[in-house]
Amino acid sequence: MGEKHLELVVINRNCLGVIETGAKLIRKTKMGAPRWDEIHSGENAPRPLYEKLLQHFDSLRGPDLRNLGERMEATLREMGVKLELPAHEAQRPWICDLLPQVFEHAEWNTIASGFRQRMQAFDLFLQDVYSKKQILRDAVVPIHPVLGSRNYQNAAVGLPRLQGAYLHLSSMCVTRDVKGRIAVKHHHFSHASGISYMMQNRRALARITPEIFEDVSIQSLADAPQTIVEKLRDSAESSVRDPSVVLLSPGTGSTVYSEHSFLARRMGIPLVQGGDLLVLDDHVYLKTVQGLERVEVIYSRMSDSWLDPLVFRSNSRLGIPGLIHCLRKGTVTVINGIGSQLADDRALLCFAQHIIMYYLNQRPILPTLQTYWLGDIDQMEMVLANLENYQIRSISGYEISDPSEKPATRATEEFIRQEVRRNASHFIAQPISADAVTVCFDKGKEAERVQDHMIFALRNGNNIDVFPGALTRLFESKPPFDDNSSPWTSKDTWVLTNGDEPVPPQPKKRMRRLREADVPSRQVTSRVAEAFYWMGRYLERAYHQAYLIQVIETLETEELNSAERKLYRPMWNRLLPPLETSAGTSRRSITNRVDRYRLVLLPEPGTVISTFRNAASNASSIQESLSPEAWATLSELLSRFERVKYRADLPEHECVRVTRKLSDAATRLIPQFFAIATGSMLADDGWRFCAIGQVLERAIITANSVVSISKSIVRDDSKAEPDRSSEIELSAFLRLLGTRDAYRRVYQMRAEAIPVLEILWQNTQAPRSVLRCLQRCARQLHESSPSDTLGTTKAISAIEALIKKIKGINWSLYVRSQDDDETPAQKKANVKEEKTHELEPLLKELLDSTLEIHTLISDAFLSHQAQISQGVQTVVS
Amino acid sequence: MIFEISHITHYTYGHQAAEAYGEARLTPPNLPSQKVLSHSIMINPETKTSSYVDHYGNKVQFFSLPFRHKKLSVINQMVVETTPVERPMESLELSVQEVRQIFSSALTDIFDFLQPTEVVEIGKEAVQWARKYLRGDMPLGEGLQRLNEAIHDSFDYKKGSTDNSTSLSAIWKEKRGVCQDFAHVGLSILRTAGLPARYVCGYIETDPPKPGSKALVGAVATHAWIEVLVPGMAWVAIDPTNRQWCNERYVAVSFGRDFRDATPLRGTFKGSGGQLMNVKVFMKRRAERPKG
């Protein structure tokens, strides 16, 4: 942050002075272009709108101001407001300036009507170019920028739309040109991004500096998300009663994922990704742990081209195959309408005026910023000759990425020139003087920024409502090609009410405010539940493996002699948890120090690090569902693993040190994660599936381990004396399963086959007993499944059947008891010879039944195979 | 002529697929040159299909298999009667320049068939060929015939030499490919010359017409050729792979800007492991009914 501060000083020093033009003040900045001054009307003379605000901040001392700024940042962080930058830093703190941007009532009315006019005109334009194409036939707009645009979607022709309209929730970027007029810089009709930031800025500023809100009358932004979802429901309601709406997000890869998550939460609708939805019989369904639920309206935050791999990019894994077909059949709607992205094509900015005149027969209320299409060779040469005065932007999604990008350096300019010459028709240019200069507070000091404003509007039947506010974006210098890749900060944006006029009452009639009782229990989608489930399983697996390594390390160095080591080693390998696929299992070995080092750190399947990474990647896909404390524990462990790199040539004693260090961290932090999560998280369906994964994995590990020692349990018993080596082996075995202490407490005797089998399979209290794990698993499933679908019932009854079977096993039928009272002859008589041979098959069968529980849970709750294959069978018959 | 055609596609997945979705463009249209007497599509494992007509007029069957399965078969069967159609000689006698002129007022409607696509790129060879074979003063019909023959003569037909990921520029360079590549080469030249053209996917009877004469290339799998739009809004079909104007031994199934639009089966599945596809086409001419 220190660096940023330095840069600011430089900007100030490079201010080239102040030019008066009439009564207006225009600053000439380091970018070499004169600009409108938003805040001042003369040297140090604030405009009346800002007078009081500046006075307020002037009255604060530097440290106080700095302190306020820090509190602001902390507040926004607490609120979870984030903007993720893909190429640069992973996550940047969201910054909202202390000084708000203010719009007067009258000027805002003009902006709002200009927005309405444009949105109406472009909706009519979309309706036309996706049907009769009259505007092209009449040659008002050339054919190429429309039909040749990569955002023109043939698949959109003839698709039904919500209320016949393409645009429902739209955005536009406006700016003040050098004369102080508001002009339209860019259309974001198809994709309104930033509403949550606009709202969060208001909330944060009101919390940090409530005093500046006194004595001003600002139009309220509250409930924007609810208004949006109400309108979506209303417009769909003609066809469906109480339609179900979901917000479709590309997932955590999106730079504005925190917005998706905020909006979905405030709208009270599920936040879903492509994999959460499924097409069956021409309808779209949401996969939840409660079963499949019909979806009628999709509020999409994804580009058209990713929506359906059957129609658009065939490599899209984010989309829903078959979605477009459901749209065609009218069983679902997507807003904004498929194909609307065409309206955002920057090449069309040049024709906005004609489009408005053509469809509405009106003059544009808001001018469009001077925009040059560089496909025109004269315009291109003119722009390239004065490149420093222009902002070059790509027309639609065509991205320039220059890894070495630094604002306004020679190298970047060269790079732009090359790109523009190579693909001129992909670019437009706008004068950089378009953005006004404003003032913000950075680290308690006044600093200069240039700004533009993102404004938002929502269709309301035939009308369009513009939200009275904006996301004002501040840039330190001219923004590079892609807004998302350049660091920017923001301002809360006030729209004043008309002093004389009372604030129009909000239309209360249709607003259903969600009461606590009405809020549907948080639906957990199957994807989220599945991520939780695998997180639980992988964490338990990683824990167990690290624990095994730790114990064996201790046993080897402290307790066992070399003969004993030789005896146990084969067993140790068999104690490794089974993997889902057989790949790599044979190579895993735990028997010597270097092997154990490899087993901890080698980046291949089945090692502690890769198992833990699997857990962590599942966790990060559902990070917003985890409590920050729980997440912190996981990321601590992850960073410990990431800090150490596997080295094939590491000396043995170093291997031991690293192995110990990492397995200690894993066995300490994983249980800590479960404890913290249980204590700090909502015990909803998601978390329950983590617990289910954990106990099921544990049951599988125990069941698998017991199979591995079945041979030693039924070992040759011709010796009358109790088998000493067998006892040591069983005792070590219990220790490796973390059950030796529990065994001693329960039986208070040395380790013998039957009680060992009992404590590992049938005990209801021992931590790792299969029975106890399965009982916990069944309990959790009962809690999360009130619906009596066939799959659910099948899964639960299978677990219960297995529990019953386990309870009924009499181990003494399979194992010779070591009762001292009996003579060898009696022993022989007691035991039915053939039964001892059946122990191993029995244990294997039990293991298989335990493994089968996974498939049943997955079919019933996660992949819905149970329900779907049932559905399909009825279709066939 | 009456043809009985079976077109069988088998997919075998490396592992089970959990969900699969697909679109079949396998329904032959009724055209002046062909009449569909019967048609059926069978999908195994059995599932419902749901149809629509796409942007290029193809009847598409959408199907979803959102349950586990190891194999997928699509069996397309039809009986189609073809009749020879006169070529629109009047239009074919117009010069290339005149044709371009006529179409310039209809650009909005034929835009798609004049544009390069991701697979039908326009490169310097296409420009050279367009200048050479489709000169403005040349009669359209003569130009098409010369172009068709030139593609056939300059490119080697070599099965398996290319796949769907081979770029057109690579085909220009290697000068070899399969029917799909021949069609793409033709399309890129025609569009460069300002003549609207589309890709056709269908079947061709390949048995030698008379014992001893040469069999045509294309069967065992689906065939691909080109149609050119001529004034009067009629499509004229040429087959650069077989060096001829298309005739009653061709059955057209689907159309588009390129292979991707017209592909008979496209789909996506979830599951680990790859898939193996196996396609077989059987085309049999029914014996002529005895006259009288």
Q: Where exactly are the structural domains of chain A?
A: 223-335, 526-876
Does residue B47 belong to the interface with chain A, where contact is any CB pair within 8 Å? yes
Determine the Cα–Cα distance for residues B148 and B142; give it in Å rounded to an integer: 10
- Asked if the model's pLDDT at residue A719 lies above 80, the reply is no
Minimum Cα–Cα distance from B267: chain A residue = A310
CA angle, residues A62, A66, A67, in degrees to nearest 5: 115
> Counting beta carbons within 10 angstroms of the beta carbon of residue A511, is it exposed (0 to 12), middle (13 to 18) or buried (19 or more)?
exposed
Region for B65 from its dihedrals, namely left if φ exceeds 0, alpha if ψ lies in -120 to 50, beta otherwise: beta
A199: pLDDT confidence band, cut at 50, 70 and 90?
A: very high
Residues of chain A found within 8 Å of residue B50, distances taken between Cβ atoms: 281-282, 325, 329
Please provide the DSSP assignment of A360-419 as one string.
H----SSPBPP-EETTSHHHHHHHHHTGGGEEEEESSS-----TT--TT-HHHHHHHHHH
- Asked if the model's pLDDT at residue B163 lies above 90, the reply is no
Cα Rg of chain A (Å, integer) = 34
Q: What is the pLDDT of residues B93-140, one digit of tens each?
A: 999 999 999 999 899 999 999 999 989 998 899 999 999 999 999 999
Take residue A563 and report the two structure tokens written for it.
Answer: 């003969």
Among partner residues A310, A325, A865, which is closest to B50 by beta-carbon distance?
A: A325
Compute CA B229 distance to the chain's CA centroid, rounded to the nearest angstrom.
Answer: 15
Region for A207 from its dihedrals, namely left if φ exceeds 0, alpha if ψ lies in -120 to 50, beta otherwise: alpha
At A667, phi and psi to the nearest 5?
Answer: -70, -20
Yes or no: say if B262 and B256 are a contact pair by the CB < 8 Å rule.
yes
Which residues are bridge partners to B203 per DSSP? B251
Q: Can you state the angle between helices A526-554 and A593-601, rounded to 10 degrees?
A: 160
A402: pLDDT confidence band, cut at 50, 70 and 90?
A: very low
Cβ pair A143:B112 closer than 8 A:
no
Residues of chain B found within 8 Å of residue A148, distances taken between Cβ atoms: 111, 115
The pLDDT of residue A14: 27
Alpha carbon of A136: minimum distance to chain B alpha carbons (Å): 7
For β-strands B176-177 and B156-157, DSSP reports them as parallel
Take residue A788 and report the two structure tokens written for it.
Answer: 């009596």
Q: Mean pLDDT check: name the lowest of A2-16, A349-363, A414-428, A839-853.
A: A2-16
Minimum Cα–Cα distance from A858: chain B residue = B18
The pLDDT of residue A623: 83
- What is the reported pTM? 0.81
The pLDDT of residue B92: 95
* Non-local CB neighbours of B73 within 8 Å, separated by 6+ positions: B8, B9, B10, B11, B42, B43, B44
- Asked if the model's pLDDT at residue A23 lies above 60, the reply is no
The pLDDT of residue B212: 61
Please provide the DSSP assignment of B38-100 as one string.
EEEEEEES---EEEEE-TTS-EEEEEEE-S-EEEEEEEEEEEEEE------HHHHTSBHHHHH
- Asked if the model's pLDDT at residue A482 lies above 50, the reply is no
Determine the Cα–Cα distance for residues A492 and A757; give it in Å rounded to an integer: 67
Residues of chain B found within 8 Å of residue A328, distances taken between Cβ atoms: 52
Does residue B214 belong to the interface with chain A, where contact is any CB pair within 8 Å? no
| Residue in A131, A287, A310, A328 to test binding to B, most B beta-carbons within 10 Å | A310
Determine the Cα–Cα distance for residues A198 and A473; give it in Å rounded to an integer: 10
Minimum Cα–Cα distance from B272: chain A residue = A581
Instruction: List Cα–Cα distances, B82 to A191, B21, B151, in angstroms.
Output: 50, 33, 26
Yes or no: say if A662 and A546 are a contact pair by the CB < 8 Å rule.
yes
Instruction: List Cα–Cα distances, A690 to A764, A777, A853, in angstroms.
Output: 21, 10, 15
Residues of chain A found within 8 Å of residue B111, distances taken between Cβ atoms: 143, 147-148
Q: CA torsion sign, B241 to B242 to B247 to B252?
A: negative
The pLDDT of residue A595: 87
Name the range with the highest mean pLDDT among A385-394, B156-165, B252-261: B252-261
Q: What percent of chain A has pLDDT over 90?
A: 40
Yes or no: say if B245 and B84 are a contact pair by the CB < 8 Å rule.
no
Residues of chain B found within 8 Å of residue A279, distances taken between Cβ atoms: 21, 64, 66
| Residue in A130, A147, A150, A581 to test binding to B, most B beta-carbons within 10 Å | A147
Q: Mean pLDDT check: name the lowest of A313-322, A842-851, B169-178.
A: A313-322
Yes or no: say if B72 and B11 are a contact pair by the CB < 8 Å rule.
yes
Name the residue type at position A387: L
Determine the Cα–Cα distance for residues A763 and A782; give it in Å rounded to an integer: 21
- Asked if the model's pLDDT at residue A355 lies above 60, the reply is yes
Q: What is the pLDDT of residues A656-694, one digit of tens each?
A: 999 999 999 999 999 999 999 999 888 888 899 999 999
The pLDDT of residue A723: 59
Alpha carbon of A310: minimum distance to chain B alpha carbons (Å): 6
Cβ pair B50:A282 closer than 8 A:
yes
* Cis peptide bond prior to A160, omega within 30° of 0: no
Determine the Cα–Cα distance for residues A578 and A306; give it in Å rounded to an integer: 37
Q: What percent of chain A has pLDDT over 70?
A: 82
Minimum Cα–Cα distance from A275: chain B residue = B270
Q: Mean pLDDT check: name the lowest of A428-437, A738-747, B29-38, B224-233.
A: A428-437
At B106, phi and psi to the nearest 5?
Answer: -110, 20
Determine the Cα–Cα distance for residues B251 and A14; give it in Å rounded to an integer: 73
CATH number of A223-335: 3.40.50.11290
* Non-local CB neighbours of A462 within 8 Å, separated by 6+ positions: none
Select from A481, A490, A486 the least CA-distant residue to A453: A490
A399: pLDDT confidence band, cut at 50, 70 and 90?
A: very low
Determine the Cα–Cα distance for residues A161 and A167; give it in Å rounded to an integer: 10
Determine the Cα–Cα distance for residues A326 and A332; give it in Å rounded to an integer: 6
Section B31-46 average pLDDT: 94
At A246, phi and psi to the nearest 5?
Answer: -130, 155
Among partner residues A136, A157, A322, which is closest to B64 by beta-carbon distance?
A: A322
Yes or no: say if B168 and B129 are a contact pair by the CB < 8 Å rule.
no
Take residue A280 and report the two structure tokens written for it.
Answer: 């069956």
* Sheet of strand A333-335, all strands in order from the earlier edge strand to the far edge: A271-272, A245-248, A297-300, A333-335
Cβ pair B111:A155 closer than 8 A:
no
The pLDDT of residue A25: 44
Instruction: Enumerate residues 110 to 149 of chain B having a beta carbon within 8 A of any beta carbon in chain A.
Output: 111-112, 115
| Residue in B43, B44, B50, B164 to test binding to A, most A beta-carbons within 10 Å | B50
Section A255-266 average pLDDT: 86
- Position with higher pLDDT, A508 vs A341: A341
Minimum Cα–Cα distance from B22: chain A residue = A310
Residues of chain B found within 8 Å of residue A155, distances taken between Cβ atoms: 55
Cβ pair B66:A147 closer than 8 A:
no
A5: pLDDT confidence band, cut at 50, 70 and 90?
A: very low
Determine the Cα–Cα distance for residues A816 and A812; give it in Å rounded to an integer: 6
The per-residue pLDDT of chain A, averaged, comes to 82
Section A373-389 average pLDDT: 87
Cβ pair A133:B23 closer than 8 A:
no
Section A230-235 average pLDDT: 84
End-to-end CA distance of chain A: 68
Domains of chain B, each with CATH number or no CATH: 2-82+263-285 (2.60.40.2250), 89-262 (3.10.620.30)
Take residue A111 and report the two structure tokens written for it.
Answer: 């902006």
The pLDDT of residue A509: 41
A758: pLDDT confidence band, cut at 50, 70 and 90?
A: very high
A571: pLDDT confidence band, cut at 50, 70 and 90?
A: confident
Chains A, B: CB pairs < 8 Å: 64
- Asked if the model's pLDDT at residue B179 lies above 50, the reply is yes
The per-residue pLDDT of chain B, averaged, comes to 90
Please name the helix (run of DSSP H) or strand (run of DSSP E) that holds residue B14, with its range, or none. Answer: strand B2-17
Select from A733, A681, A672, A743 the least CA-distant residue to A704: A733
Cβ pair A875:B52 closer than 8 A:
no
End-to-end CA distance of chain B: 17
- Asked if the model's pLDDT at residue A57 lies above 70, the reply is yes
